[in-house]
């Protein structure tokens, strides 16, 4: 969480840093700040609120927006409430150093007490202000340069960080470091860009270095970049990666919100996920990460899936798919729970970590634990080069393109697509699926993008339903089998962007408690597609109807039984049961999107949330 941006070079830094912050705002948006060096003075401005508030404040108050060095920060508060003082950048006591930080310094309290004893004072409640003063203290006491002081200070710190530090007495360099939080360095001609991801600098350079955990770099204009290990000072030869990202992918492209754009991108995103991997006519699925480790994966005694949030829901869908097709037992775990119990992991277990961002701290910690215990870790990530993708033994990217709306949409459907392909491959290898069934599944998966486009045509109808139920204080989502995780996901989408309380349940569980909630005020979204326990779900709908609940049915085209009972139905085209989540989830995304827009909520940046959760 938190986005950091920096620039050092020959261009005006202000607009680069400001635009970069806007692109990183998905990472956190409760406060923002910028520090710009104009050749003589540091102009520092920070404020509670969004980057747009920062822009207004900076342009009103700063003596100048000039300068070719600058750093900026957009915050998701951890230590200290979101206010002007706790916002970054933070000065050191002398006013010479200024820092931006994404992460948490866990031993900040001990360090702070030590520094207070030595006469340091603190304005904010943050761990970051402690770190910058620790760096200053090291510089003064050990008479070392900034780079060395940062290194020594970080070796005394426990926690996670991506930082950039600037010393106004040495205005031609920035010192950056990372551990547990991402940091990319864009490399131009005598200029460098620093950012939490590459989006702030893609129009300037397509060459980037992604620092590895435990690495730091001193970037100086006119000089080669030097990367070294923080703990032992050894020099590292950094890998300069060519970026695949383009500007169009990170802009709204005419849509009102990123979330809506990303919902509509799903047909193409899924095609991108299986393009070149699924050869329908030949009846082949080729995935390097799976092919290279086929025996390890196919002979797994058990698959453990670890993930958080929406990715965890994709994991639940995968549990059905793997068990159904590959006949391998699967357990799905919240990464945050898994990492803190003492899980039993056998050497021939395979752990699949699912993460859109590839940076989620709990998922990362879970896979580290699994590796320590000898498991083989397979990552399913969207962000190329992300920490989880690098920490895994093997993996498969979803190739969904950047997902910027905080509520996950295309990440979910592309994760299911990748996991389906993996399950089918393992099933084929293990002989638990017939050749004709295998081919049939590939053909059906290939038809899904067009079917999603068909579901998207129901947008206006879904908008009407949203209007009808937008004032409801609560909402229930029910589904069975493959569509139980979709019910959970539908409820999560509604609560996170509209702040309406919503719960997802397996339809049959309703009578064990939640049915007590049902009255004429309660909208109940029921996924009742023809395949998969249809009659049983129809009975559940009858039970809701008898208690006067309002029913919104997600049904297969041509359905009559549910139509007769429901207040509204949304149709999806027919497909095989295991693929229905790819279709049933679409109307639920649109429903929550429209309700949130109608309620005037900030759909792309819901309160209290951030896109990648890099803290515990």
Any idea which residues carry the catalytic annotation?
2, 611
Query: Does the footprint of ligand F6R cover residue 404 (CB under 6 A)?
Result: no
Nearer to ligand F6R, 139 or 492 (CB): 492
Question: Considering the complex, what minimum distance in angstroms separates the CB of residue 480 from ligand F6R?
Answer: 22
Residues 435-494 that bind ligand F6R (CB under 6 A): 492
Cβ-contact 238, 212 below 8 angstroms: no
**What is each CA distance from 471 to 108, 369, 405, 492, in whole angstroms?**
44, 44, 23, 17
Q: Does residue 392 belong to the site contacting ligand F6R (CB under 6 A)?
A: no
Binding residues with ligand F6R: total (CB under 6 A): 15
Q: Measure the CA–CA gap between 380 and 400, rounded to whole angstroms.
A: 12
Q: Which residue, 86, 84, 99, is CA-closest to 46?
A: 84
Sheet arrangement for strand 173-179: 90-91, 97-105, 159-167, 173-179, 215-220, 226-229, 235-236
Instruction: Give yes or no for residue 605 binding ligand F6R (CB under 6 A).
Output: no
Nearest to 525 by CA among 533, 512, 516, 510: 510
- What are the CA-CA distances from residue 578 to residues 38, 379, 493, 554 (Å)? 59, 22, 21, 16
| Near ligand F6R by CB under 6 A: residue from 357, 392, 417, 529 | 357
DSSP secondary structure of 332-394: EEEHHHHTTS-----TTEEEEEEESSS--HHHHHHHHHHHHTT-EEEEEESSTT-HHHHHSSE
Among 47, 310, 398, 580, contact with ligand F6R (rule: CB under 6 A): 310
Contacts of 435 by beta carbon, 8 Å cutoff, 6+ apart: 283, 428
Backbone angles phi, psi at 552, to 5 degrees: -115, 110
Q: How far apart are CA 441 and CA 433, in angstroms?
A: 10
Among 205, 360, 387, 592, indicate the residue that binds ligand F6R (CB under 6 A). Answer: 360
| Contact flag: residue 311 with ligand F6R (CB under 6 A) | yes
Cβ pair 78, 22 in contact under 8 A: no
For residue 589, give the DSSP letter: H
- Is residue 387 within the footprint of ligand F6R (CB under 6 A)? no
Smallest distance, ligand F6R to C-beta of residue 153, A: 30
Cis peptide bond upstream of 89, omega within 30 = yes
What's the rounded Cα separation, in Å, for the pair 604 and 404?
8
Q: To which H or E segment does residue 330 belong?
A: strand 330-334
356 forms part of the interface with ligand F6R (CB under 6 A): yes
Q: Which is nearer to ligand F6R, 408 or 605 (CB)?
A: 408
Among 43, 133, 151, 408, binds ligand F6R (CB under 6 A): 408
Smallest gap, in angstroms, from Cβ of residue 302 to ligand F6R?
A: 22
Binding of residue 391 to ligand F6R (CB under 6 A): no
By beta-carbon proximity to ligand F6R, the closer residue of 9 and 309 is 309
- Give min distance, CB of 265 to ligand F6R, in A: 15
| Helix, strand, or coil (residue 314) | helix
Q: In angstroms, what is the minimal distance from the CB of 226 to ligand F6R?
A: 31
Nearest approach, Cβ of 498 to ligand F6R (angstroms)?
13
Residue 543, phi-psi category: left (phi > 0), alpha (psi -120 to 50), beta (remainder): alpha
Segment interacting with ligand F6R (CB under 6 A) among 16-24, 128-136, 304-312, 455-463: 304-312
| Residue with nearest beta carbon to ligand F6R | 309
Tell me the helices (H) and strands (E) count for the chain, helix number first: 20, 27
Is there binding between residue 592 and ligand F6R (CB under 6 A)? no
Q: Which of 174, 290, 308, 551 binds ligand F6R (CB under 6 A)?
A: 308
Using the rule CB under 6 A, give the single segment among 15-23, 355-363, 525-533, 590-598 that binds ligand F6R.
355-363
- β-pair partners for 69: 8, 37
Which SS3 state, helix, strand or coil, does residue 450 take? Answer: helix
Identify the residue among 98, 300, 613, 615 touching ligand F6R (CB under 6 A). 613
Residue 532 sits in the site that holds ligand F6R (CB under 6 A): no
Pick 356 or 585: Cβ nearer ligand F6R? 356
- Output 419 or 566, the one with its CB closest to ligand F6R: 419
Tell me the CA distances in angstroms from 308 to 325, 360, 422, 440, one per residue in order. 24, 8, 20, 32
- Cβ distance to ligand F6R smaller for residue 131 or 492: 492
Kindly tell me which of 147 and 180 has the beta carbon lying closer to ligand F6R. 180
CB of residue 489 to ligand F6R, shortest distance in Å: 8
Q: Are 142 and 152 contacting, i.e. CB atoms less than 8 angstroms apart?
A: yes
| Binding segment toward ligand F6R, per CB under 6 A, in 140-148, 290-298, 302-310, 459-467 | 302-310
- Are the C-beta atoms of 163 and 99 separated by less than 8 Å? yes
Site membership for ligand F6R, residue 498 (CB under 6 A):
no
586 lines the binding site for ligand F6R (CB under 6 A): no
Q: Which is nearer to ligand F6R, 261 or 533 (CB)?
A: 261
Q: Which of 127, 496, 559, 604 binds ligand F6R (CB under 6 A)?
A: 496
Which residue reads 């690098």 in tokens? 390
Q: Does 309 bind ligand F6R (CB under 6 A)?
A: yes
Nearer to ligand F6R by C-beta: 126 or 357?
357
Q: Footprint of ligand F6R on residues 151-190 (CB under 6 A)?
A: none
* Segment interacting with ligand F6R (CB under 6 A) among 135-143, 177-185, 204-212, 305-313: 305-313
Is the Cβ of residue 1 or residue 297 nearer to ligand F6R in the bound state?
1
Tell me: does residue 407 bind ligand F6R (CB under 6 A): yes
Quote the least distance from Cβ 281 to ligand F6R, whole Å.
33
Return all residues near 100 (Cβ < 8 A) that are at least 6 apart: 4, 5, 6, 33, 35, 71, 72, 73, 88, 89, 128, 163, 164
CA distance 396 to 291: 11
Minimum CB distance to ligand F6R smaller for 304 or for 492: 492
Select from 191-199, 223-231, 309-317, 504-512 the region that touches ligand F6R (CB under 6 A). 309-317
Q: How many residues does the chain have?
A: 616
Q: Binding to ligand F6R by residue 612, rule CB under 6 A?
A: yes
Positions touching ligand F6R (CB under 6 A) are 308-311, 355-357, 360, 363, 407-408, 492, 496, 612-613
């Amino acid at each position: 969480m938190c986005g950091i941006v920096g620039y050092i070079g020959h261009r005006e830094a202000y607009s680069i840093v400001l635009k970069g912050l806007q692109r990183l705002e998905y990472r956190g948006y409760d406060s923002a700040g910028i520090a710009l060096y104009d050749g003589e003075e540091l102009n520092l401005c920070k404020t509670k609120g969004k980057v747009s508030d920062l822009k207004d404040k900076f342009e009103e108050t700063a003596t100048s927006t000039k300068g070719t060095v600058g750093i900026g920060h957009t915050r998701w508060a951890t230590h200290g409430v979101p206010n002007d003082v706790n916002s970054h950048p933070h000065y050191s006591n002398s006013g010479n150093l200024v820092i931006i930080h994404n992460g948490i310094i866990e031993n900040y309290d001990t360090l702070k007490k030590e520094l207070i004893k030595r006469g340091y004072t603190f304005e904010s409640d943050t761990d970051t202000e402690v770190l910058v003063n620790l760096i200053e203290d090291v510089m003064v006491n050990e008479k070392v340069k900034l780079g060395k002081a940062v290194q020594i200070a970080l070796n005394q710190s426990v926690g996670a960080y991506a930082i950039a530090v600037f010393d106004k007495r040495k205005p031609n360099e920035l010192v950056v470091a990372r551990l547990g939080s991402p940091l990319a360095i864009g490399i131009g001609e005598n200029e460098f860009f620093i950012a939490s991801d590459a989006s702030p600098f893609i129009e300037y350079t397509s060459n980037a270095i992604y620092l590895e955990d435990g690495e730091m770099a001193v970037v100086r204009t006119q000089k080669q970049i030097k990367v070294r290990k923080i703990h032992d000072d050894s020099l590292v030869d950094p890998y300069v990666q060519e970026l695949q990202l383009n500007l169009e992918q990170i802009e709204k492209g005419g849509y009102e919100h990123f979330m809506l754009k990303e919902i509509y991108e799903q047909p193409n995103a899924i095609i991108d996920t299986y393009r070149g991997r699924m050869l329908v006519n030949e009846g082949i699925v080729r995935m390097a990460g799976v092919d290279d480790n086929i025996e390890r994966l196919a002979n797994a005694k058990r698959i453990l899936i670890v993930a958080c949030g929406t990715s965890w829901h994709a994991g639940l869908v995968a549990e059905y798919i793997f068990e159904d097709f590959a006949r391998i037992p699967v357990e799905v775990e919240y990464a945050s729970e898994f990492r803190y119990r003492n899980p039993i992991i056998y050497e021939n277990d395979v752990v699949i970590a699912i993460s859109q961002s590839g940076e989620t701290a709990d998922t990362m910690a879970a896979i580290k634990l699994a590796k320590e215990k000898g498991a083989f870790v397979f990552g399913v990530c969207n962000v190329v080069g992300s920490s989880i993708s690098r920490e895994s033994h093997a993996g498969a990217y979803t190739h969904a393109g950047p997902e910027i709306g905080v509520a996950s949409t295309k990440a979910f459907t592309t994760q299911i697509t990748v996991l389906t392909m993996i399950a089918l491959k393992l099933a084929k290898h293990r002989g638990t699926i017939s050749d004709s069934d295998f081919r049939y599944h590939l053909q059906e998966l290939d038809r899904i993008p067009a079917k999603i486009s068909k579901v998207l045509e129901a947008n206006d109808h879904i908008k009407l339903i949203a209007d009808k139920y937008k004032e409801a204080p609560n909402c229930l989502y029910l589904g069975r089998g493959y569509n139980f995780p979709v019910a959970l996901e539908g409820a999560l989408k509604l609560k996170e962007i509209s702040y309406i309380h919503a719960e997802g349940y397996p339809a049959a569980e309703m009578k064990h408690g939640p049915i007590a909630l049902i009255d004429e005020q309660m909208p109940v979204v029921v996924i009742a597609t023809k395949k998969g326990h249809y009659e049983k779900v129809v009975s559940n709908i009858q039970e809701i109807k008898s208690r006067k609940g309002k029913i919104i049915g997600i049904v297969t085209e041509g359905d009559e039984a549910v139509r007769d009972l429901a207040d509204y139905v949304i149709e999806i085209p027919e497909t095989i049961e295991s693929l229905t989540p790819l279709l049933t989830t679409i109307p639920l995304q649109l429903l929550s999107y429209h309700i949130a827009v109608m309620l005037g909520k900030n759909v792309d940046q819901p309160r209290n949330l951030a896109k990648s959760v890099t803290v515990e």
